[in-house]
Amino acid sequence: MSTGSFTTSSSVTLGKFEALHTVAASTWGFTVDGDAFNTNGTTTYIDAGDYFWATTAQGGSVSLLSNLQTKLAAIVANTTVSISASTGLLTITWGSGTRKLHPNAAAQTRFGLASAYAAAATAVGTAHVKGLYLPNVQPSDLSASLLATGGRRSDRVITIAKSGAVWGTTYNKTYENLFAFRGLVKRKVWTADEATTNESLETFWSDCLSVGCTLRWHRDATSSSYTEWKDVLREGLGQTVATGPRRMVVGWDGLWDFELPCVSYVHVATGGGF
């Protein structure tokens, strides 16, 4: 398991959750200065592999943003890409001149981009990127300090033979965190109430957590410090989404509570993204 150390600065932005993306070859493509995707322009694809938006996945070498920036900068030198820590929108700033951009359908969906961009100095997403959750409140941790990896667990099994002999078997030690959000605004909870497409916990859940995606929690949304979990507890969490989150005040939809259990594994295999 890869676990980063947390920052302790008091002047940090709200935290974020990143989900693991597993990219197949030649799936997320971009055409620059063409008439349409893959037409009369230079086309590039994100390299196959595992990625997080801002940090390097196990077995990888770069983040997803870094890979995208490298690909686009190879076409237009000095091009940069970024994601807003407040809106979750992707911005591509071309290194020179005004440029057209045509992402294919897969890239549009994952990066929150429009189908086509007229020649301009920048291209800004129209939807929150997928696989990133930016809550409007900092969660508390009901099971351990937010500076730790969580409460220790064990898969130790005790076996008793007919003779009365007893022995134990232990494989991986794990750690569990139970995050508690208090006061989520409705647009950050329910897909139907999103102000920006893809910004809600429900969308984040349906995209990646429901398939057991590897997850990283960053206490500061702008930092590279994180704690990583291989999976969330699928039993119960799906029911929580169906029957909750819970209103803070009965009959009032303004603010919501939600609890998210996460389990970290000692070894995280590659290929656990969505």
Q: Answer yes or no: is pLDDT of 215 > 90.
A: no
What pLDDT, in 10s, does the model give residues 189-208? 999 999 999 999 999 988 98
Q: Which residues contact 20 (CB under 8 A, 6 or more apart)?
A: 50, 51, 52, 57, 131, 208, 213, 214, 215, 216, 272, 273, 274
What pLDDT, in 10s, does the model give residues 227-270? 777 655 444 444 444 335 888 888 899 999 887 777 665 444 56
pLDDT score recorded for residue 19: 93
Partners of residue 92 on adjacent β-strands: 81, 123
Identity of residue 241: V
Q: How confident is the model at residue 79 (pLDDT cuts 50, 70, 90)?
A: very high
Residue 189's closest CA among 142, 231, 237, 241? 241
pTM of the model: 0.82
Q: How confident is the model at residue 174 (pLDDT cuts 50, 70, 90)?
A: low
What pLDDT, in 10s, does the model give residues 5-57? 333 334 457 889 999 999 999 999 999 999 999 999 999 999 999 999 999 99
pLDDT score recorded for residue 11: 46
